[in-house]
Every structure is written in C-alpha cells, then in structure tokens.
A and B are shown apart, each in its own frame.
Chain A
C-alpha cells in the first residue's frame, strides 16, 4: 500500500507530520511493502493562492491509496474526493508513528474538510 503523509521535514521515517495540507513542507511517499520513504517537496507551499488545489494535484499524481494530514481545506478536499484516495487525519508525530497508528486502525477517516475556506498565507 502507498501512503502519502504531509511532512514538516524530510528526515526519513523520523520526519514529523505537518498538520497543514496545502502549505506542508513535504509530502512523504511511503510504500508499506518495504517501508521505503521518498520525499516530494511541496511546490505549493508559498503559492499566493490555490495552494490546496496545487497540493491536491501533486498528491493525486503520486497514485497513492491513502493520504494522512492534519487539517485539510474545502478546495483540496473537494478535489481529492473525486479520486480514489482515502483521507485520514493524523497526529503531529513521526511518520513512522503515524503509519503505525494508521495500520492499527487508530486514525480517523475524514468525510469532509476540517478547515473552512481562507485566502492566501493565513
């Protein structure tokens, strides 16, 4: 299974989950088959607008099965809900811990956006 976790840094499985989706620093692309992790820099981090949309595109293009983040806004959620991706909310812990919690079934699957719309870098 392929899981994308929003990450605050790119320090392997020790990297911390970034609770922001659109403006996360990295996307950690984890393959649970061999616990390999690859980091994709989030180009949308400093976008003046539409960061969530651009980040959603990046994540969707990885072809992952699951996305784990902290908060996710309505534009990104609406876009990602059109794909087969399942979206979960995770704690600000290491990627390893987040993946473990997911596999234990302890994470909450999101059915809607956790944040309302906002403009720019707020």
Chain B
C-alpha cells in the first residue's frame, strides 16, 4: 500500500501530515520525495550515518571528430541544452533533461552519454522498529528533481505501508511522486489560496485516476466551509481536520511531531489509514 501526500500549494502541511501519519502506523516505509528541500528529517530524526548513495543521470558527450556540424541535435533539444557555437556543439549539463534524444537523432553517431551526479539518497532502516526512512536530496544547480524521485522509488518495498511526502505544486516532480501510489492525500488549508491550489491538485489526481481524499490543516470553525462546500459539491471525502491550535504550532516549531505529545491523534491517523484501506480494497 502506497499513500502519497501532496498539495497544490506549498506550506499547507504535507510534511506535518505525512510524518504524523507515518509515526502512527505499523510497518512503515517513509519517503521524503520533496527532494528540492527535504525537511521531514527535522521531525523524524533519522540517523543516516554513512548510508548515502549518489543519483546519476546521463548527459551527452559529443565526439567533435565525428560531428559534422549538422545541428540536428541543437534543433532537436527542447531544453536548449545544446548549442553550436564556434564550430563546436556545446553541452550545457545543468539544463539537460537526460532524455537521450540527441544521441538518437545524431546521424553520425557522434553523441554518447556519460554520468552526472544529480543528487543523493540517504536512509535509516530502523528509525523505530516500525519505521524505515528514505530521503532524496537534489544537488545545487540541477534543474530537474525527477531523476532523484525515480531512483528513490526503486527502494519501495511493496509489503510495507509506504508514506510518500511529495514535492509541492502540480508539475512533473509531484506527478512522479504520485503516479504509482494507491491513494493520494491532498492537504489544504481553509483559505481562498488553499482552495485554488487544491483544485489544481484534484485535477492532477483525477487525470492520474487515483482515489483521493482531503485533509484540512489549520482548520477553524467558520473558515472550513470554503473547503467543505467544494468537497461536498464534488463528492470528495474529507479524511481529517487538523485544528489551527497553538499547541500543535509550538510542537511543530520545536521539531516535535504532534502525535508524540498528543497520542489521541495517533488514533485519528490510524482511523484515516483504515478509511483509506477500505477505499483502496
């Protein structure tokens, strides 16, 4: 069972929801796929020690001897990673998306591929008896986080309860984190901005054909209607409301997952998980 936690808007509470959910369940494998700025380690506090490996991606290398300056590769590259300047094809690795297209299109066979480090993966197989932790981290200067998320997903163990903290937004990295999941939790907040970006996230999961439900973070009586009305109109389940409460905010700012101090919330997250299981099965 794989649950991906996403939200259109950043800062709505993906990490709050995913870490507290993970700490409430047995047999969990947690993935921080927000690889541009992974921060769930602040709450889960894994011990990476020396458990780290590089994520490599392919970039083109041009054999200038074989190159006839035909520019087929330059014209092909959608990302402007190649240019024909001063009679040589120049490669700009930072903007290359590693699609491999230039290699195929070159009529002279002048392009081969070599590895470039895109990021790294860290892990702790025993944060607690019930929790295994994995994190991807993108290298500074890289433009696409997708290769790191792809590599991270290779580590998924199907027998585990997988909780994946997705990157914010509704673009390729978020889709990469959600595309193989069994269920998506959409985290939002009861504001017009929260609703706007929730609608974008809904469009994504609808397109992916995933079952999904909403968790309202910073929920407040008198404010929740903006999300509740939308959910009711569109027949979307609201799985949980996490109140806008000083104690929860203070625990967050101290790096303490609130289920650890407020154990009644563990039960609530377990109920959410049971509801999700019922939908998936």
Interface residues of A (CB under 8 A from B): 44, 47-51, 53-54, 56-57, 60, 75, 78-80, 82-84, 117, 119
Contact = CB atoms under 8 A, between A and B. Distances in A.
B141 A53 contact: no
A83 B85 contact: yes
Closest 4 pairs (CB-CB, A-B) = A50-B80, A82-B86, A50-B95, A54-B80
Contacts of B141: 117
Contacts of B156: none
A54 B83 CA distance: 7
Contacts of A82: 85-86, 88, 90
A51 B80 CA distance: 7
A50 B86 contact: no
Given A57-B74, A117-B141, A47 B88 contact: no
Given A44-B80, A57-B74, A117-B141, A49 B95 contact: yes
B143 interface: yes
A119 B143 contact: yes
Interface residues of B, number: 16
24 contacts: A47-B80, A49-B79, A50-B80, A50-B95, A51-B80, A53-B80, A53-B81, A53-B82, A53-B83, A54-B83, A57-B74, A57-B80, A60-B84, A60-B86, A75-B92, A75-B94, A75-B95, A79-B83, A79-B90, A79-B92, A82-B85, A83-B86, A84-B86, A119-B143
Interface in B99-143: 141, 143
A119 B80 CA distance: 13
Contact of A50 (B81, B84, B85, B88): B81
* Interface-central residue, A47, A50, A79, A82, by most chain B CB under 10 Å: A50
A44 B78 CA distance: 11
A63 to B, nearest CB: 12
B85 A57 contact: yes
Contacts of A117: 94, 141
A120 to B, nearest CB: 8
Contact of A57 (B84, B88, B94): B84
B15 to A, nearest CB: 23
Given A79-B90, A117-B141, A53 B95 contact: yes
Contacts of B79: 48-50
